[in-house]
Every structure is written in structure tokens, then in C-alpha cells.
């Protein structure tokens, strides 16, 4: 009697050893939901991590803005005052040019009067040459200090002298390229003294004053803020950049399956490295606004985890294998042609590349000598370039192979998106700078159509690049 319970236990154990039970449909649904929940949890953690990074970058940008504002407030005020003066001068370039010519002519006239006075008061050639040497030294000093004073404009100076002093015969004065005044002794020419007494000498204070007048009136450069007076090239800039991206996709189920198709797609797809690189050309339209365009290459791909698919009738009526992805439907060629219900297991990678043309407007929020802070936004047109899916398959007879499909059914050739961003630019030297720009690109139109799933793509990127302003 004592061995009976032991025998009964063995009887039950032997009875259920070969028992096989198929899990219920509810079990599989529950298991699938658990898998999706774990996948979504990982996905949410990634998004939250990048949200934290974005918030940290925002704090850094705010701190830098406060620093730049405090350190560059005085500089900006001075620059604006200088800009205002230069704009007023640039608005009347004829008057500035006339002022320069008048100053030049006055200097020449003073030297002419001095030479004429010397000729009249003393015919001693030795004293004349001595005075000429003194004059030439003064002129040479002024000319070396200010190259803008051009004393070789003989015709303009002579015309001015004739208007002021008609009695002076200008052929008795010669001005050579070395800015020296050489009186010519001509027995047939008579030099009449001016109505006022010219000074015995021209002091360096007078010449310095003339030089300063030229510096402030005639020797200025167009303001950086006066875009009307700048040529086209000086308004241009070019930049090259690279930006790793985080891709997020909004999926819409078009088959009315209560998002079952979307769940399956999300469960078997895993995002891989995505990036954008390109060249941009910018054109300044004001001191703060500029327009930018160029060419971008955008690459993104995702992995396909092992998935069992079944033979079914395609749109053309033939039976085959097809895989629904977020990009569109991938028809997998297989020989011999399968029957409805046949199955294969597939895994692989799908790639989606674009050539893009952006049209962006950029606004300089804060400009400093070292750092600039700006905001940008605009539209982008995207042309699908590469749409390849590489598949490894295995059938029920344990046969396997590789196939590459260069077409994704339903993927649009063209789609449109918008982008917004904030950037920080660091000036290295004249014209050269580097910058960092976090940006967000969102879909205006979907990337596919007439597919079981409609997909809208969104990208969060951090671009780093180099810029040269002409």
C-alpha cells in the first residue's frame, strides 16, 4: 500500500509525456502585445533620452545667449553708430568724391602758391631749389602716410586752379609721379601773384588735418550693413556639413485592421544609422536676413528581423511573396512560383536614399565678433534616389538564398518636408567659421501612397559644418 501513490504519479507522468498542445489564439495575441510593449518601451526610452539631450542643448544655448548679449551690447551699439554714418556717406557718393578732390586740390594749390611766391620774391635758383626740396619732403611724408592722396592728377588740379586764380598760368607748374612740385622757369611766362598772401610754409598740422579729412570722408569702405553698395560676391557664403539623424515615423493603417499591420511592421523593423550631408550656398539680403539653398544627400535604412511570409495573390494576379514595410510593399521574386499558403522565412535590410534641395531663410538673432546665434527654417523637396531591399530567404525544405530588389512598390518618387533649426556659429578668421545646428525636419507629404501603410517621416538631427563668407 505504501508504494501506491508513487505508482500513480508515474502513471500520470508517462501519460502526458508525449502530449502536444497548440497554444490558443489568445495566447499568441497576448505574447505579441507583450513583445510590442517591450519594443515600444525601448523606443520611448530612446525618445526621452534625446528629449533630455535637446533640453540640455537648449539650456546651453540660453546661457550662451545671455553671455553674448552682455558682452556684445556695447559693441553692437558702436557698430550701429558707425553703420549709420557710413550709410549716410554711401547714400551720396558723389559728394564724398568731390570732397576728396577738393582736399587734394587745396593741398596742391597751397604748394603752387608757395612755389609762385618764391619765384616772385627771389629769383635765386639756389634758394628756389632749397625750398623745393623742403616742399617735396613734406609732400612725400604726407603721401607715404596716406596713399589715398593722389597728387598726380594734373588736369583736374589745373582746372581747379584756373577757376580760382585765372591769372595763374598752369603750364608753369609740373607735377611728376613722385608727387614733387617743380616750378618751370619760362622767360615767356609770367606768374601773377594771387590776391592773398600765401604762407611761407605749410605746417605739418595743416597737412595732418587734410589727411584726417581724407580718412573720414574719402577713404572709407562700404559698410557691412549697406548691402546696396556691395557686389554680389561679397554677399555670398558657402558651407559644407554633416548631420547624424534620429528617424521617427508616423504610420497610418489604410487596411482597417485595427493597426495590426502597423504592429507587425514595427515589431520586425529596426532603425539603422541615418545621416544627411551636403553643400549650401547663402546670399545676404540684409544685415540679419539671408537665403540658403544647395544639394543634400539623405540616407536612411532599417533592418528586417526574421519573418515568415506566405504566398498570396499579388496585384497583377500572380501568386508570390510580398513583404509590407514602412517604405512600401516589397515583392520578393522566388522560383519556382509558390502556391497560395506556401511560406518562407526572410530577413534583411531596406535602404531609402534621397537627393534634396532645400530653400531656407536664416535670421541672425545675435551677432558678435566671435559667436553668432541664428534661427533658420524653410521647405525641402526630396527626390528618391536609392530604394533597395536585400533579402535572405529560407524555405521549408531548408533551402536558402539571397536576393536584391531595387524597387519598393508605392514609394513616392518625390515628397516635401519642412525644417526648422537653431544654430551657433564660431568665427575662426576673416571669412571662415564653423557652426553647430540642431534641427527638426517634418513631413508635409507622405513618402508613399496606395500602400497598406502610409508613412510620414520625421528627423531630429545635429549638423556640424564649416562656412566661408566671401
Instruction: Say which residues have a Cβ less than 8 Å from residue 311's Cβ, sequence separation at least 6.
Output: 319, 320, 321, 338, 339, 340, 341, 342, 343
- Between 177 and 144, the higher pLDDT residue: 144
pLDDT of residue 148: 46
pLDDT tens digits for range 262-272: 988 999 999 99
pLDDT at 205 over 60: no
Residues of the chain with CATH 2.40.160.20: 231-469
pTM for the model: 0.56
pLDDT at 276 over 70: yes
Instruction: Say which residues have a Cβ less than 8 Å from residue 400's Cβ, sequence separation at least 6.
Output: 392, 393, 394
pLDDT of residue 150: 44
pLDDT at 386 over 70: yes
Give me the phi and psi of 427, to 5 degrees please.
Answer: -85, 120
- Of the pLDDT bands very low, low, confident and very high (cuts 50, 70, 90), residue 65 is low
Q: Cα(233)–Cα(222) distance, rounded to whole angstroms? A: 14
Q: Cα(226)–Cα(287) distance, rounded to whole angstroms? A: 8
Burial (Cβ within 10 Å: 0-12, 13-18, ≥19) of residue 430: exposed
Q: What percentage of residues in the chain have a pLDDT greater than 90?
A: 42
Least Cα distance to 261 among 271, 247, 249, 251 occurs for 251
- Of the pLDDT bands very low, low, confident and very high (cuts 50, 70, 90), residue 313 is confident
The three three-digit cell numbers of residue 76, written as one number: 553692437
CATH of segment(s) 231-469: 2.40.160.20
Q: Mean pLDDT across the chain, nearest whole number?
A: 75
- Between 146 and 15, the higher pLDDT residue: 15
Q: Cα(94)–Cα(22) distance, rounded to whole angstroms? A: 97
pLDDT of residue 128: 47
Burial (Cβ within 10 Å: 0-12, 13-18, ≥19) of residue 327: buried
Q: How far is CA 137 from CA 113, 144, 180, 181, in A?
A: 17, 10, 9, 11
Residue reference for cell 498570396: 312
Residues facing residue 443 across a β-bridge: 417
Residue reference for cell 485595427: 258
With beta carbons less than 8 A apart as the criterion, state whether 200 and 175 touch: no
Q: Which H, E and C letters describe 131-149, residue by residue?
A: HHHHHHHHHHHHHHHCCCC
Q: How far is CA 317 from CA 56, 96, 214, 328, in A?
A: 55, 82, 87, 19
Burial (Cβ within 10 Å: 0-12, 13-18, ≥19) of residue 452: buried
Rounded to an integer, the average pLDDT of 297-304 is 96
Sign of CA dihedral 322, 323, 326, 327: negative
- Between 383 and 128, the higher pLDDT residue: 383
- Between 453 and 113, the higher pLDDT residue: 453
Q: Cα(182)–Cα(172) distance, rounded to whole angstroms? A: 9
pLDDT of residue 89: 58
Amino acid at each position: 500500500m505504501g508504494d501506491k501513490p508513487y505508482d500513480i504519479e508515474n502513471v500520470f507522468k508517462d501519460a502526458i509525456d508525449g502530449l502536444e498542445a497548440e497554444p490558443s489564439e489568445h495566447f499568441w495575441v497576448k505574447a505579441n502585445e507583450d513583445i510590442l510593449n517591450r519594443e515600444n518601451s525601448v523606443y520611448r526610452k530612446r525618445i526621452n533620452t534625446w528629449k533630455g539631450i535637446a533640453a540640455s542643448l537648449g539650456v546651453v544655448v540660453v546661457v550662451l545667449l545671455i553671455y553674448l548679449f552682455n558682452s556684445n551690447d556695447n559693441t553692437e551699439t558702436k557698430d550701429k553708430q558707425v553703420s549709420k554714418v557710413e550709410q549716410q556717406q554711401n547714400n551720396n557718393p558723389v559728394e564724398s568724391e568731390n570732397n576728396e578732390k577738393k582736399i587734394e586740390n587745396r593741398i596742391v594749390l597751397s604748394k603752387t602758391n608757395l612755389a609762385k611766391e618764391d619765384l616772385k620774391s627771389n629769383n635765386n635758383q639756389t634758394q628756389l631749389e632749397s625750398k623745393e626740396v623742403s616742399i617735396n619732403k613734406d609732400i612725400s611724408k604726407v603721401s607715404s602716410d596716406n596713399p589715398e592722396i593722389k597728387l598726380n592728377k594734373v588736369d583736374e588740379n589745373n582746372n581747379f586752379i584756373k577757376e580760382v586764380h585765372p591769372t595763374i598760368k598752369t603750364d608753369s607748374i609740373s607735377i611728376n609721379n613722385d608727387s614733387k612740385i617743380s616750378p618751370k622757369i619760362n622767360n615767356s611766362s609770367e606768374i601773377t601773384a594771387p590776391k592773398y598772401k600765401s604762407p611761407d610754409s605749410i605746417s605739418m598740422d595743416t597737412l595732418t588735418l587734410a589727411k584726417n579729412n581724407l580718412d573720414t570722408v574719402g577713404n572709407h569702405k562700404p559698410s557691412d550693413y549697406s548691402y546696396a553698395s556691395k557686389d554680389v560676391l561679397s554677399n555670398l557664403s558657402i558651407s559644407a556639413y554633416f548631420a547624424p539623424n534620429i528617424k521617427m515615423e508616423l504610420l497610418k493603417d489604410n487596411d482597417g485592421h485595427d493597426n495590426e499591420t502597423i504592429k507587425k511592421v514595427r515589431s520586425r523593423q529596426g532603425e539603422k544609422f541615418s545621416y544627411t550631408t551636403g553643400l549650401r550656398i547663402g546670399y545676404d539680403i540684409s544685415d540679419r536676413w539671408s537665403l540658403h539653398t544647395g544639394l543634400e544627400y539623405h540616407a536612411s535604412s532599417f533592418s528586417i528581423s526574421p519573418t515568415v511570409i506566405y504566398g498570396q495573390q499579388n496585384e497583377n494576379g500572380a501568386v508570390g511573396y510580398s513583404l509590407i514595410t514602412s517604405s512600401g510593399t516589397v515583392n520578393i521574386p522566388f522560383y519556382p512560383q509558390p502556391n497560395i499558403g506556401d511560406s518562407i522565412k526572410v530577413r534583411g535590410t531596406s535602404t531609402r536614399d534621397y537627393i534634396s534641395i532645400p530653400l531656407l531663410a536664416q535670421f541672425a538673432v545675435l551677432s558678435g565678433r566671435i559667436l553668432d546665434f541664428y534661427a533658420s527654417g524653410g521647405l525641402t523637396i526630396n527626390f528618391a534616389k536609392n530604394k533597395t531591399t536585400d533579402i535572405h530567404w529560407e524555405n521549408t525544405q531548408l533551402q536558402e538564398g539571397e536576393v536584391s530588389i531595387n524597387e519598393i512598390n508605392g514609394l513616392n518618387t518625390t515628397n516635401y518636408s519642412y525644417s526648422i533649426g537653431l544654430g551657433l556659429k564660431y568665427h575662426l578668421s576673416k571669412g571662415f567659421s564653423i557652426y553647430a545646428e540642431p534641427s527638426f525636419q517634418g513631413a508635409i507629404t507622405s513618402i508613399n501612397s496606395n500602400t497598406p501603410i502610409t508613412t510620414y517621416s520625421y528627423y531630429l538631427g545635429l549638423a556640424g559644418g564649416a562656412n566661408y563668407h566671401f
